[in-house]
Structure 1
Amino acid sequence: MNVTDDASTRGVPPALGEDAPRPVRRRLRVITVIATFGGLLFGYDTGVINGALPYMKDDLGLTPFTEGLVTSSLLLGAALGAVTGGKLSDARGRRRNILVLAVFFFFGALGATLAPSTEVMILARFVLGLAVGGASVTVPVYLAEISPAEWRGGLVTRNELMIVSGQLLAFTSNAVIARLGGESGGVWRWMLVLATVPAVVLWLGMLVMPESPRWLAAQGRFNDAFEVLKQVRSQQRAEAELSEVSALAVKDEQEKVGGWRDLRATPWIRRLMWVGFGIAVVQQITGVNTIMYYGTQILTDAGFAADSALTANIANGVISVLATFVGIWLLGRVDRRPMLLAGQLGTTAALLLIGVFSMTLPAGDGRAFAVLAMTVTFLGFQQGAISPVTWLMLSELFPMRMRGFGMGIAAVVLWLTNFAIGLVFPSMVAGLGVSGTFFVFVVLGVLALAFVKRYVPETKGRSLETLETELRARYS
């Protein structure tokens, strides 16, 4: 699917441009910053367990199995939160759903902080997972629907930047708290409680943010949609875009596009959903979250002391943030599909080298720093290419009236894959060793490359409405 530079051939309304009124550009940036606090919480709550888990083991009496449950209960909750959050955001609105998710983030973090037992910790992490899953679906869709077509890649991937920033914040605060608290009991509780602060910021900020104009149009509220568009577009652009959005909303309403019945009965939507499932699985079977959740333990096994591993793990967070900046820059210049292929090649090669170094190098500083270098390289490709493209494409692929639902179902597949990997990784390492485990991910990476090359379409350079028309024709 070729992308041209002629906006008229792509169905994109006149470009917003840097000459757009300053209040319009400022309003878009404020909306992006506030909404992506959901991404920050996503990143912090998934990353904090990396450093908290070693200190939690003795206090809660964790075994390897319950350690996997504490880690992966969030992921199981995220799977349920993704499909529920996607459906609710289609039914009740993106903004209202984000407000509810902020409440779940707050009470989930508070419950984990105060957990007196493994069972309560697992339950609290499950509640956090509901919020993480809902945010992983709703925030990218909200940003995609409120963004101009030519800014969509950059604004939607700001959420990925906030996710990795949240993980970096978790890694850094873990290291600082561990050094200040030392071996004192309950030091992990201080690591977990910090997540309540951005949850409050998200809730207060979304109180004054607008609803998605495309969701409003899908509900037949065209005047309200126009009022929102005027906040984030020039007058001429708002009028042109409302006309396009309204026409497609009427068409979707006539065809009753929007839920399970359409998924089963409409062949092109069903085929498109399978592509979404594949993209979701591709992002997870790189094994990225084994490094996000168990990075400290991987570095300890490679030869670092416990405190040194916590500090060294900050490098993983730093490279994730820097790579995401690069990814945002590339998305404005490179098509989505080639970025996904390049990311898969890079991560697969890095995992292969982690396995080789762990198997062949003697224990000591040499192996420790070689493994650290490869985890950093891996995250450079993952966070600079695969992750931003994944969340962006999932926010673009599905029809307007079922965008939240469609992305939610794809995200369920993503989070269940994540859950399975997080649950079995400690047992895999115990049974196969670090080398054998990462060689398994190498094989999965090769399969992912083949899938992307054959099945994934290009989505760059179209308005969401034009893209829907093209995909409808392609998969019908």
Structure 2
Amino acid sequence: MATAQVHGGSSRPAALPPLTDGPHRKRLGMVALVATFGGLLFGYDTGVINGALRPMTAELGLTALTEGVVTSSLLFGAAAGAVGGGRLSDTWGRRKTIILLAVLFLAGTLTCVFAPNFEAMVVGRVILGLAVGGASSVVPVYLAELAPYEIRGSIAGRNELMIVIGQLAAFVINAIIGNVWGEHPGAWRIMLAVAALPAIALFLGMLRMPESPRWLISQHRTQEALDVLSTIRSPERATAEMADVKHLTEEEEQMNISGWGALKNKWILRILLVGIGLGVAQQLTGINSIMYYGQSVLIEAGFDSDAALIANIAPGVIAVVGGAIGLSLMQRINRRTTLITGFILTTICHFLIGIASIALPVGDPARPFVILFLVVAFVGSMQTFLNIAVWVMLSEIFPLHIRGFAIGVSIFCLWIANAFLGLFFPTLVAAVGITGTFFLFGIVGILALIFIYTQVPETRGRTLEALEEDVTTGAIYIVRKK
């Protein structure tokens, strides 16, 4: 951690005592595990629709339009949940907000499971969306604020890994239920009901977890903050971090940095726009179109329905493998390097999928397998280099007093992009086919590369407080390129 000059010419300590092993490291690991059940639910609830939609359509009499509404209703709900969850976590606390989200996960799941018609299903999906959006903004912040800066990437990145594990679990459970009980008219309800188990685990687990010490300090509950830090750090490290965070919090209070008013600072406005850009660029790769409509894409490629349901597990598996690799990269490779590499690889995959769909016409026996291979390569590139890096950066680039608000706004925009893509993806494929769809994704990937290279700063290897000072003064843009 480099020495950081702060406003008014004062400076704060440039170094912290080193990390040490002990019970506090195990405690931190347990806290991260419990909190990331929110990510698991995020992944399962967004992925389960992939296999549940077709039998649901048959039973509830959905049309092409109402299929899109059912899928995207969760996503629009998530947009609202991201903003609401972020704001609530700033005022109510990270821990209490996550407990509330667990209740919403359970309520939404039960509403969907017992939905008698299209309207009730949409209500349940919106409730789930509020929970998913809230989890997407609050859990990464909670993890980042609990983690030591040296391993913040690997701790905060665990949430994204749990998201793809949740999606893989949804694909596997869909395949098992679909092939074993596929003839049963209510099989899709069983697929949805499985999500109740991790929702209960998240609720019960978070009752025993601590509040974010950085949030406690922002509320002037310094003794509670020190008590929490002492359970997840060595005594010397806890005391040093406490002083570090408290110092910067006091300076921010004098500057009155909070909410929309903070955007009067042009550098904070700029970092918010960077956060929005990161979220939207991630979604416009089309990754969640594969997660939601993967079975439909593979049927379009040439697989029959049952084979597509099984083949759809392959992208889920590679997503988990790529996520595990990506988690290890967080502590070894700069964030900017990771993002640029990821967008190069995913853009190449987009163009190759489009070319393959032209070179291998419908009916060619090689077509479905080549496209499946390229889809798996795309998902692997995405999960290894992009998804974890984006979520980690969103959790660490914003100042403490607007962290929940700013990540909420950024993820709101992420979910809106996701929702419109989910709503119109079937129409897009119907209009221009796989070829045109993935060529469009490739063009967007080129634009995203330009944005990342010119606008996104580097954040690896620095404390949240050091990043915060450089964000509020604009210094982070001067030293961003490495």
- Give TM-score scaled by structure 1 length: 0.96
Equivalent pair of 2:399/2:471 in contact (CA under 8 Å) = no
In the alignment, the residues of structure 2 paired with residue 151 and residue 11 of structure 1 have an alpha-carbon distance, to the nearest angstrom, of 18
Q: Deviations over 1:141-195 (max 9, x none)?
A: 0000000011100011110110000000000000000111122212110100000
Q: Deviations over 1:415-469 (max 9, x none)?
A: 0000111111011111111111111111111100110010000000100000111
Q: Deviations over 1:346-379 (max 9, x none)?
A: 1111111111111220324311011110111001
1:15 aligns with 2:14: no
Q: Which runs of structure 2 are paired with 1:389-468 in the superposition (5 Å)?
A: 389-468=389-468
In the alignment, the residues of structure 2 paired with residue 97 and residue 403 of structure 1 have an alpha-carbon distance, to the nearest angstrom, of 14
Structure 1 residue 254: Cα displacement = 1.5
The residue type paired with residue 114 of structure 2 is: L
- Please state whether the residue corresponding to 1:71 is helix, strand or coil: helix
In the alignment, the residues of structure 1 paired with residue 60 and residue 224 of structure 2 have an alpha-carbon distance, to the nearest angstrom, of 51
In the alignment, the residues of structure 1 paired with residue 154 and residue 230 of structure 2 have an alpha-carbon distance, to the nearest angstrom, of 20
Moved more, 219-228 or 361-370: 361-370
1:249 aligns with 2:252: no
In the alignment, the residues of structure 1 paired with residue 365 and residue 163 of structure 2 have an alpha-carbon distance, to the nearest angstrom, of 31
Name the counterpart of 1:285: 284
Name the counterpart of 2:352: 353
Name the counterpart of 2:218: 218
- Please state whether the residue corresponding to 2:462 is helix, strand or coil: coil
Moved more, 224-233 or 352-361: 352-361
In the alignment, the residues of structure 1 paired with residue 355 and residue 69 of structure 2 have an alpha-carbon distance, to the nearest angstrom, of 29
Q: Which runs of structure 2 are paired with 1:261-340 in the superposition (5 Å)?
A: 261-263=261-263, 265-340=264-339
In the alignment, the residues of structure 1 paired with residue 176 and residue 138 of structure 2 have an alpha-carbon distance, to the nearest angstrom, of 32
Residues 236 and 426 (structure 1), Cα distance of their counterparts in 2 relative to 1, 3 Å cut: same
Structure 1 residue 53: Cα displacement = 0.7
Name the counterpart of 1:375: 375
In the alignment, the residues of structure 2 paired with residue 316 and residue 94 of structure 1 have an alpha-carbon distance, to the nearest angstrom, of 32
Equivalent pair of 1:283/1:387 in contact (CA under 8 Å) = yes
Moved more, 176-185 or 220-229: 176-185
Equivalent pair of 2:2/2:15 in contact (CA under 8 Å) = no
Moved over 4 A (4+): 3-6
1:78 aligns with 2:78: yes
Residues 165 and 194 (structure 1), Cα distance of their counterparts in 2 relative to 1, 3 Å cut: same
- Please state whether the residue corresponding to 2:95 is helix, strand or coil: helix
In the alignment, the residues of structure 2 paired with residue 58 and residue 5 of structure 1 have an alpha-carbon distance, to the nearest angstrom, of 63
The residue type paired with residue 461 of structure 2 is: G
In the alignment, the residues of structure 1 paired with residue 262 and residue 452 of structure 2 have an alpha-carbon distance, to the nearest angstrom, of 25
The residue type paired with residue 260 of structure 2 is: W
Name the counterpart of 2:60: 60
Equivalent pair of 1:15/1:150 in contact (CA under 8 Å) = no
The residue type paired with residue 404 of structure 1 is: G
The residue type paired with residue 54 of structure 1 is: R
In the alignment, the residues of structure 2 paired with residue 378 and residue 203 of structure 1 have an alpha-carbon distance, to the nearest angstrom, of 35
Moved more, 354-363 or 404-413: 354-363
Residues 383 and 314 (structure 1), Cα distance of their counterparts in 2 relative to 1, 3 Å cut: same
1:30 aligns with 2:30: yes
- Please state whether the residue corresponding to 1:333 is helix, strand or coil: coil
Moved more, 168-177 or 298-307: 298-307
Structure 1 residue 248: Cα displacement = 0.9
In the alignment, the residues of structure 2 paired with residue 33 and residue 71 of structure 1 have an alpha-carbon distance, to the nearest angstrom, of 28
In the alignment, the residues of structure 1 paired with residue 78 and residue 388 of structure 2 have an alpha-carbon distance, to the nearest angstrom, of 19
Q: Which runs of structure 2 are paired with 1:192-203 in the superposition (5 Å)?
A: 192-203=192-203
Equivalent pair of 2:76/2:415 in contact (CA under 8 Å) = yes
Structure 1 residue 266: Cα displacement = 2.1
Structure 1 residue 4: Cα displacement = 7.7
Root-mean-square deviation (Å)? 1.7
Q: Deviations over 1:15-38 (max 9, x none)?
A: 21xx422x1111011001000000
Name the counterpart of 2:7: none
The residue type paired with residue 65 of structure 1 is: L
Q: Structure 1 stretches of 5 or more lacking a match?
A: none
- Please state whether the residue corresponding to 1:209 is helix, strand or coil: coil
In the alignment, the residues of structure 2 paired with residue 462 and residue 14 of structure 1 have an alpha-carbon distance, to the nearest angstrom, of 14
1:258 aligns with 2:266: no
Q: Structure 2 stretches of 5 or more lacking a match?
A: 5-10, 478-482
Structure 1 residue 9: Cα displacement = 11
Name the counterpart of 1:365: 365
The residue type paired with residue 13 of structure 1 is: L
- Please state whether the residue corresponding to 1:365 is helix, strand or coil: coil
In the alignment, the residues of structure 1 paired with residue 400 and residue 18 of structure 2 have an alpha-carbon distance, to the nearest angstrom, of 21
- Please state whether the residue corresponding to 2:312 is helix, strand or coil: helix
Equivalent pair of 2:75/2:416 in contact (CA under 8 Å) = yes
The residue type paired with residue 259 of structure 1 is: G
Name the counterpart of 2:149: 149
Structure 1 residue 339: Cα displacement = 0.3
Name the counterpart of 1:342: 341
1:92 aligns with 2:92: yes
Residues 60 and 10 (structure 1), Cα distance of their counterparts in 2 relative to 1, 3 Å cut: farther
Structure 1 residue 12: Cα displacement = 4.7
In the alignment, the residues of structure 2 paired with residue 339 and residue 392 of structure 1 have an alpha-carbon distance, to the nearest angstrom, of 12
The residue type paired with residue 171 of structure 2 is: F
Equivalent pair of 2:106/2:196 in contact (CA under 8 Å) = yes
In the alignment, the residues of structure 2 paired with residue 446 and residue 63 of structure 1 have an alpha-carbon distance, to the nearest angstrom, of 35
Equivalent pair of 2:262/2:402 in contact (CA under 8 Å) = no
Structure 1 residue 257: Cα displacement = 1.3
Structure 1 residue 262: Cα displacement = 1.9
In the alignment, the residues of structure 2 paired with residue 346 and residue 147 of structure 1 have an alpha-carbon distance, to the nearest angstrom, of 30
1:119 aligns with 2:116: no
In the alignment, the residues of structure 2 paired with residue 151 and residue 429 of structure 1 have an alpha-carbon distance, to the nearest angstrom, of 41
In the alignment, the residues of structure 1 paired with residue 371 and residue 3 of structure 2 have an alpha-carbon distance, to the nearest angstrom, of 43
- Give TM-score scaled by structure 2 length: 0.95
In the alignment, the residues of structure 2 paired with residue 95 and residue 113 of structure 1 have an alpha-carbon distance, to the nearest angstrom, of 27
